[in-house]
Structure 1
Amino acid sequence: MANLVIFHNTLDIADVVRQLQAEDWEIDPLDLAEISPHLTEHINRFSVYSTHEIGITPEDYGTRLVVDFSTLEEELIPAA
């Protein structure tokens, strides 16, 4: 269940980033690197979850997120 929650949060984060990019926001890879899809707030770990949607085929999700992470690589390379 935890893996599914993380996966769902990852898709939600990617959707928000795409929406911001569509609104001409500049996405800083350093800020994006600080976001974790492993959220623990508002998760009812042992609660009752709805299963009425099990028979519904989910929509395809976009796996492509266009963000230049090269600045992260530059941060990790020590200066000579």
Structure 2
Amino acid sequence: MTAATNKVESFNRFSQRVGFGNQGVLGDNDPIEQEKAMKFNALLTNAVIFHNALDIAEIVRQLLEEDWEIDPEDLAHISPYLTEHIRRFGEYSTHELGLQPEAYDPHLDVDFSPLRDDDPPAPDGYGQAA
């Protein structure tokens, strides 16, 4: 229970860090506008998490190519809630928006089966991917 609570609290802190505008205060009484602001923040938060996960996977691939041994236990402790690289008040270029990204390859050549064998079964289906 504590681990799940910690993950939720980490996500909420990360989400607040990403959606820093107006100090997190909803400045409109219109419920539709409030819902839009919350959904935009959730979308932005999830996009940054996805980008962080892509960056982490790319670094792991580079290390594997350099013949580093990657311990799945170490990877299990890496969080995608990284904020140090986010330039909240920086300059952003949008002229590249028309570019198509390269196809994403989700495969990492790391054996996670030792981690799965040690995990106790989740109660009532919790923790299973949908």
Q: TM-score, normalised by structure 1?
A: 0.80
Instruction: Confirm whether residue 64 of structure 1 aligns to residue 64 of structure 2.
Output: no
Give the paired residue count. 78
- Alpha-carbon separation, structure 1, partners of 2:45 and 2:81: 9
> What is the aligned-residue identity percentage?
64
- Structure 2 unaligned spans of 5+: 1-43, 121-130
Question: Which consecutive unaligned segments of at least 5 residues does structure 1 have?
Answer: none
**Within the alignment, does 1:26 sit opposite 2:69 as a pair?**
yes
Alignment pair present for 1:37 and 2:80 = yes
Query: Structure 2 CA distance, aligned partners of 1:64 and 1:20?
Result: 14
Could you tell me how far 1:62 is from its partner in structure 2? 1.4
Paired residue type of 1:14: A
Distance change in 2, residues 1:40/1:23 (3 Å): same
> Shift of residue 40 of structure 1?
2.6
Aligned to 2:58: 15
Query: What is the deviation of 1:74?
Result: 3.0
Over aligned residues, Cα RMSD in angstroms? 2.0
Tell me how far 1:65 sits from its aligned partner: 0.9
SS at match of 2:107: coil
Runs of 4 or more, structure 1, over 6 Å off, are none
Pairwise CA distance, 1:44: 3.9
Larger Rg: 2
Whole-angstrom distance in 1 between the partners of 2:59 and 2:87: 23
Shift of 1:31: 0.1
